[in-house]
Amino acid sequence: MSEYLSRSEGETEELGARLAKNLPGGTVVAMYGDLGAGKTAFVRGMARGMGLSCRVSSPTFTIVNEYLGERELIHFDMYRLSGADELFDIGWEDYLNRGAVCAVEWSEKVEDAFFGDEVRVTIEKLSDSGRKITIEGAELC
Ligand SMILES: Nc1ncnc2c1ncn2[C@@H]1O[C@H](COP(=O)(O)OP(=O)(O)O)[C@@H](O)[C@H]1O
Ligand SMILES: [Mg+2]
């Protein structure tokens, strides 16, 4: 487990980029943190670290965004789901099996869909621009 202090949205993005750069396909990145913590900012950095130039915004209404290039990043926002069953209904296992990195905002809603091998990213708001970011299960580049 490692802890980092981020002082800006850009620094949070940079941590996401360093996490995702060498992350193997099929990895689930389970994200925790309140509204406005910086989960989407972190995923935006992940996309950049994976060499994807797509526009990254929270899939709050669509549930899933797919960022495709030489590598694949699937971005989930579970805020509107009632539980893991609904995630399986939208094809969770297919996403896992296709070897994409899966970043999941509001993971607390779908804990039962995980197998215990996920990378966990927890973002805590310390102040307007200060965030404590805890990463478990992977090293940064
Ligand atoms: N250190 C920081 N890291 C990430 N976001 C920050 C930071 N400081 C301020 N912010 C602001 O907090 C908000 C985070 O939004 P977002 O990434 O959409 O959060 P979430 O997806 O967790 O709801 C943005 O408005 C961003 O500018
Ligand atoms: Mg978000």
Minimum CA distance residue for ligand 1 atom 8: 129
Any idea what the CATH number is for the domain that residue 100 is in? 3.40.50.300
Looking at the structure of the chain, the number of domains it has is: 1
Encode the chain (141 residues) as per-residue pLDDT tens digits: 999 999 999 999 999 999 999 999 999 999 999 999 999 999 999 999 999 999 999 998 889 999 999 999 999 999 999 999 999 999 999 999 999 999 999 999 999 999 999 999 999 999 999 999 999 999 999
Q: What pTM was estimated for this model as a whole? A: 0.98
Cα 28 to averaged position of ligand 1 atoms, centre (Å): 21
Task: Report yes or no on 141 lying in a domain.
Answer: no
Helices vs. strands in the chain: H and E counts, helices first: 4, 7
CA dihedral 59, 15, 1, 138 (to 10 degrees): 80
Minimum CA distance residue for ligand 1 atom 18: 40
Cα 97 to averaged position of ligand 1 atoms, centre (Å): 31
Tell me if residue 10 falls in helix, strand or coil.
Answer: helix
Domain that holds residue 90: 2-136
